[in-house]
Structure 1
Amino acid sequence: MADSKRSELVGAVETRGIEPVPDTERHGHAGQMFWTWFAANISLLGLPLGATLVAFRGLNIWQAVLVAVIGAFGSFALVGALSIAGKRGGAPALTLSRAVFGRRGNTGPTLVTWISRVGWETVNTTTAAYALLSLMAIVFGTKQNTPLTLVCLLVFIACTLLISGLGHATIMWINKWATYVFGLLNLLVMAFLVATVDWAKVLHAPAAPLSAVIAGVGVIAAGTGIGWANAGADYARYLPRNIPGGRLVLASAWGAGIPLVLLISLGSLLSAGDASLAQASDPVAAIDAMLPSWMSVPYLIAAFGGLLLSNHLSVYSAGLTLVTLGVRAKRTVAVAIDIVITLAGGIYFMLIAKDFYGPFTTFLTILAVPITAWVGVFAVDMTRRRFYDPKALMDPRRSGRYWYNGGFAWSACVSWFAAIVVGLLLTEAKTSDTDVWFSGPFSHSWLGTNGLGWAVTFVVAAVAYRLLLPLDRAVRAEAAVRANDTPPADPAAPTGPADPAGPAEERMPA
């Protein structure tokens, strides 16, 4: 226990893996979630995301701001709500998911989540390498070539590995203080970008139909909070269980919402006068071209730092997810494995692929479906579960509490799979109108055209799981045992009668 406590010191390597955190080692406050999600969202990738609202959806600036507020605040409120599970169980999200899907049934959601993390890391790494290449061209007069590209990729990956490898305590400390530095740099850059806005075109842009606004909300939600929904518990697991859940929701929503709304709104402003940002294969260079030459260095430093803050969170979660998936390695080794795969993805994007944001958008479109299906099932389970058995979460035996039927909780697994099928029926994944990767038979319906396949997926998953739960005898039997459980989760801590409904301030509506 002494080693695990020392690992929670800033600068020390976190030795804890996915095993639940005992109550005696819990610490911190809800405000940490504010800094966590603020740091994750100050990267300048928010600018091209906002640009797509105007260039591809035809929104005017007022509609774009409204879409940004609803999509960003709403999706990260969901992230905060799901992070309550981390506070309750003291474990990463996908480890807690074993209690919902069963030990074997949890493999599907965990694998999809890991792939999602690797994708986000590859996007961050590639964009940061572009920023570093541009910075070196300005400072040293170098030109982009293959060896230099590899060096830039390795520099960013080394920085990510250092922070993610050290772990939770260091990440939380860096999130707060680095956000001040890079946040201020971003504000400076944004002030100069505002000066380039073509206000005549912005103020006279016609409004788009309601369907485009609805679709825009879906784009922002899928591109921001939905991608992080299955990571919230990873950072809340060290928090004391007596922190009100509502504070986690508010801290997460405001922490992510503030920078996202500013960046997305500015991207919309810029695109109203020039659609090139939304179509740029190198968004870093496209934004740099809009600034005075003397602003390039601080801008590129801000871009690099913002992407690093986002990437180390994603890599940290990916390491935990890889261990949950069954890789028998320490958390630090799992992080290193993830980094190697990310490097390969960065090489592909920068040296092989011809288009950057085409594959990125396609990646988001496809993975938003299974991730949202997991969110729907997991959220419903949270309304009925206030306790996760710490020993059972780590127990791989067939006699384990969360083994259910052959390792599967069929009610959750069937609901997850059915929701994915329905979501894909409404989904079209393409890099361009002439390069369609997948097109569901109902992708051109009103729901499909307006990008609401992910929303339908959530509803189907939640409703199906709610209806199937009473029919799943193994899950009902586990719930009957749970009614007699006595939190806290630390077996060594004093125990007593527990309120099965949990603290009043964190209860979620049924």
Structure 2
Amino acid sequence: MNEDVIKVSDEEKTLTPGKLFYNWFAANIGIMGIVFGAMIVSFHLSFFQATLASLVGGLSFVFPGWVATLGKREGITTFKLSRAAYGTHGNKIPNAIAWFNMVGWLAINVITGTLLLVSLFKILHIAKNSVTVAIALAIFAGLVILSGLLREAVLAKIQTWLSWIFGLLTLVILILFLMKADWQAALAAPSGQWLGGFWPAVSIVAAGSGISWSMAAADWGAYVKPQASQSATFWNTTLGGAIPLFVLMWGGVLLSTVEPSLATASNPIDVMNDALPSWISVIYFLVAAGGLIPQCIISLRSARINLATVGIKVSQQASLVIHGAIVVLIPIYVLFISGNFLANFELFLGFLGTCLAAWVAVFLCDSVMYRRQGYDVSLLENGSQNKYNWKGITSWVIAVVTGFLFTNNAIWNGPFAHGIFRDNSLGVFVAGIAAVICMLLLKPVGRVSEGEAL
């Protein structure tokens, strides 16, 4: 991708809204959706509350849907669009964090894929040791890196087939999980706190799904055919991600009634496999892999786009080498040194969720307040005078700091992380709300800059 070219050419706009549905559906049929469901239950919610939290959390995909429509309308990828809100230079910090987010998701999925192959080796009577773990890591990471050589049209076709194949197989696996679920225990679970339980559960799901995927949405929306409708782009993106995510989380809610260790296990793949009949184990592992590969494809593609947008210009081969090294080194740390997958996963979600919730709130507020008539391309070009948009930068910084003040985790203890804000991800919502408030308060400050619509 040429960094100096802002708009995607009409020749490259080959995707239909339906392709977006398959793209996001395929990216969210991963088995981690079931782990999200178990994490929701860990907040001590009733069956009704947990089901509602799954639904609301899944509907956080309205944010990627919204961002995708902006990308489709303008024919511009996400972090070139956000230059308007932050300035061409000011945009580089949230852009770099978004790159880190995509690389982090790549690493998480590679770790999960490695654990999945290790569990498959166990079925094949291959003992788990450092060598077999290293072989599994090399296999899965190699497949992910090779996907970076494919073009958008080819990726869209792959996502469509993966959606059908692994969507149906996932449904079979989910039915088996539901048959084993302890419905009586699920329905008898007492109600938990709404402020201290329900909303923190929604926040961690939103941080790991809709909010996290927002910065990749316009990277796909920009390639939709010009004649396609905005509403079709929105709904295919939103529902493509929300439907499989909700169904899988709901399955995780029920499965946790018979496998309470699901949300805390060092290898949740093994826990889910133990809940299935032995005859379907191989299919289960194929389904789990099928759900991870599309997520890796999207993350790697957007990570490469973000790296270029930050201003780091490298060839496609060099980009693959850089990202390949990162997505191997992080799993090596987690698998061979730390050994605690889910603890590192939740820490990652909390940190990135806060930064990205603030980013998407500023980005969308800017689009509503100043870009209703469209984006002025001159604001997005490298030579633009719009180097620092201090309204957006200031709002983002204040929002991120505010979010962390209400957050605590293994390495940080915010001064206001007490009561309902203790030991959860509510700081993600605090950051998003703070960003909106700052953008509204700063609107009257200064003159309307070039390209902004009143």
Could you tell me the TM-score, scaled by structure 2's length?
A: 0.94
Quote the sequence identity (%): 33
Q: Which amino acid aligns with 1:444?
A: H
Match of 2:338 among 327, 344, 353: 353
**Equivalent residue runs for 1:251-270 within 5 Å:** 251-270=236-255
Shift of 1:464: 1.3
1:92 aligns with 2:77: yes
1:429 equivalent in structure 2: 409
1:464 aligns with 2:444: no
Match of 1:478 among 445, 450, 453: 450
Match of 2:188 among 178, 200, 204: 204
What per-residue deviation string (whole Å, max 9, x for no partner) do you get for residues 89-128 of structure 1? Answer: 3222112212221121011101111111111111100110
Distance 1:37 1:255 in 2: 5
Match of 2:166 among 172, 175, 182: 182
What per-residue deviation string (whole Å, max 9, x for no partner) do you get for residues 335-382 of structure 1? Answer: 431121011111111111121100110111111111111111100111
Contact residue 164 and residue 171 of structure 1 kept, 8 A: no
RMSD across aligned positions (CA): 2.0
Shift of 1:288: 0.9
Match of 2:303 among 318, 331, 341: 318
1:227 aligns with 2:217: no
SS at match of 1:329: coil
SS at match of 1:479: coil
**Equivalent residue runs for 1:228-247 within 5 Å:** 228-247=213-232
1:32 aligns with 2:19: yes
Of structures 1 and 2, the larger Rg is shown by: 1
Match of 1:70 among 40, 49, 56: 56
Q: Which amino acid aligns with 1:477?
A: S
1:215 aligns with 2:195: no
Contact residue 17 and residue 331 of structure 1 kept, 8 A: no
Residues 472 and 146 of structure 1: CA distance in aligned 2, closer, same or farther (over 3 Å): farther
Distance 1:274 1:465 in 2: 45
Distance 1:240 1:98 in 2: 23
SS at match of 1:165: coil
Q: Which amino acid aligns with 1:66?
A: L
Q: Which amino acid aligns with 2:176?
A: F
Structure with higher RCO (Cα < 8 A, 6+ apart): 2
Unaligned runs of 5+ in 2: none
Distance 1:68 1:104 in 2: 38
What per-residue deviation string (whole Å, max 9, x for no partner) do you get for residues 145-164 of structure 1? Answer: 22222221121122212223
1:142 aligns with 2:126: yes
Q: Which amino acid aligns with 1:463?
A: I
Shift of 1:470: 3.6
Q: Which amino acid aligns with 2:251?
A: L
Alignment size in residue pairs: 450
SS at match of 2:180: coil
Contact residue 88 and residue 388 of structure 1 kept, 8 A: no
1:446 aligns with 2:420: yes
2:395 equivalent in structure 1: 415
Distance 2:13 2:96 in 1: 28
Q: Which amino acid aligns with 1:46?
A: G
Shift of 1:332: 4.9
Q: Which has the larger displacement, 24-33 or 264-273?
A: 24-33
SS at match of 2:449: helix
Shift of 1:52: 1.4
Shift of 1:460: 1.6
Shift of 1:17: 6.0
Shift of 1:24: 4.8
Unaligned runs of 5+ in 1: 1-14, 431-436, 484-500, 502-510
> Comparing both structures, which one devotes a greater share of its residues to helix?
2
Shift of 1:176: 0.7
**Equivalent residue runs for 1:269-418 within 5 Å:** 269-383=254-368, 384-385=370-371, 386-390=373-377, 393-395=380-382, 397=383, 400=384, 403-404=385-386, 407-418=387-398
Distance 2:406 2:359 in 1: 17
